[in-house]
Structure 1
Amino acid sequence: MSASFVEVSIRPARLSDCSSLAALSIEVWLGTYIREGVNAFFADYVLAHYTVEQFARALKDPAERVLVSENSIGIDGYIRITNDQPCPANHPSTTEITTLYVQPRHHGNGIGQELLHAGLDLCREIEWDTPWLATNSENTNALSFYKKQGFTIVGQTHFEIEDQRYCNEVFAVCA
């Protein structure tokens, strides 16, 4: 289905969405970063990080905003934005797009773009900085997506799980 035929419905996340957000996150994270089989190291991380409780805490936190994309069946994507998160690169923003996930079967339908624009609009509306974000340096789809949306690489940082480090590109919208 082409993007022009998909009607995207974006709304703020509710506490009743937490289990759907956790399940979607696990699906996207494992599908994106685990390529050759799931081991306990990554399984333990993802199961501890993407929980109903973690999402419930985020939705109650005044420094967090979560918007979801919803189709007739359920949630197919979300954007999570966190305020008071200084950019690790030489950029003045203190607002981070913590997560932008869309179920893989819905890629290419404009959902990610709609979520991103809704998130940027929300930041302007509530007077938060234009956000920065970090994405894995090997995630070519995400790197290409953010560049097409007007983001520029402003530096690098590392995503860490225990003693493992993974290079991430830091993006921001530059004037």
Structure 2
Amino acid sequence: MVAVSPSSISIRSAGHEDVAAVAELGAHVFSTTFGHSVTTEQLQAYLTESYSIPATTKDVTDPMKDMIVATSQDGAIVGFALLTRGTSEPCIAQLESTVELQRIYVHPTYHGNGVGKILIKKLEDMAREQGFKHIWLGVWEENYKAQKVYEKQGYRVVGDHDFTIGDVVQTDQIMVKEL
């Protein structure tokens, strides 16, 4: 783990110049966190689908998404996250004006330094500025560390959904926070 102060982390909107670094970081974090739960072939197929250059370019340019990156003092991307409009789940369908906080990924060497909290706060601020009343996310039921972070930030479990990688069906908890 690298010790950094939150004041040394900068947050900015992601651009085309960030695609390769975000794709690499996304693949690394996903593999580290979830890779043990699926076969190598299933993992590689998912990484190609979700963290390739074309997939990441699509995320950066999608008008329904706002991607932000966290950078260290030397400008390296150490985390990223998405605010995604137009998504929902049955367990939150009754809530007014929702937006999804998606893919809060921080390089493992930066865990425990508040980078994830900074990303969460920035996306929550953006959601408020865009007029949303609730923000929601899905977190793997076995990712206890992330669940605790979200709970400390005021999110509560309201349901779950299936998350499929290849032929493996996992469960994500759906968490929501009133803004």
Normalized against structure 2, the TM-score is what?
Answer: 0.89
Q: Describe how 1:83-162 pairs up with structure 2 within 5 A.
A: 83-91=85-93, 92=95, 93-162=97-166
Secondary structure, counterpart of 1:84 in structure 2: coil
The one-letter code sitting in structure 2 at the alignment partner of 1:34 is G
Displacement of 1:48: 2.4
Displacement of 1:129: 4.1
The corresponding residue for 1:16 is 17
Secondary structure, counterpart of 2:154 in structure 1: coil
The one-letter code sitting in structure 2 at the alignment partner of 1:157 is H
Percent identical: 27
Gaps of 5+ in 1: none
After superposition, what is the alpha-carbon deviation per residue over 1:82-141, rounded to whole angstroms, capped at 9, x for unaligned?
A: 101013413525311121000000001110000000010011112234320001000011
After superposition, what is the alpha-carbon deviation per residue over 1:118-165, rounded to whole angstroms, capped at 9, x for unaligned?
A: 010011112234320001000011111100111000111111124321
Conserved 8 A contact 1:158-1:165:
yes
Conserved 8 A contact 1:154-1:170:
yes
Match of 1:78 among 49, 73, 80: 80
Displacement of 1:73: 4.3
Secondary structure, counterpart of 1:34 in structure 2: helix
Cα distance in 2 between the residues matched to 1:16 and 1:83: 23
After the TM superposition, list the runs of 4 or more consecutive aligned residues in structure 1 that deviate by more than 6 angstroms: none
The corresponding residue for 1:53 is 54
The alpha-carbon distance between structure 1 residues 41 and 141, as it changes in their structure 2 partners (threshold 3 A), is same
The one-letter code sitting in structure 1 at the alignment partner of 2:84 is T
The alpha-carbon distance between structure 1 residues 26 and 111, as it changes in their structure 2 partners (threshold 3 A), is same
Conserved 8 A contact 1:6-1:110:
no
Cα distance in 1 between the residues matched to 2:154 and 2:16: 32
Cα distance in 1 between the residues matched to 2:86 and 2:38: 36
The one-letter code sitting in structure 1 at the alignment partner of 2:104 is L
State the Cα RMSD in Å. Answer: 2.0
The one-letter code sitting in structure 2 at the alignment partner of 1:43 is Q
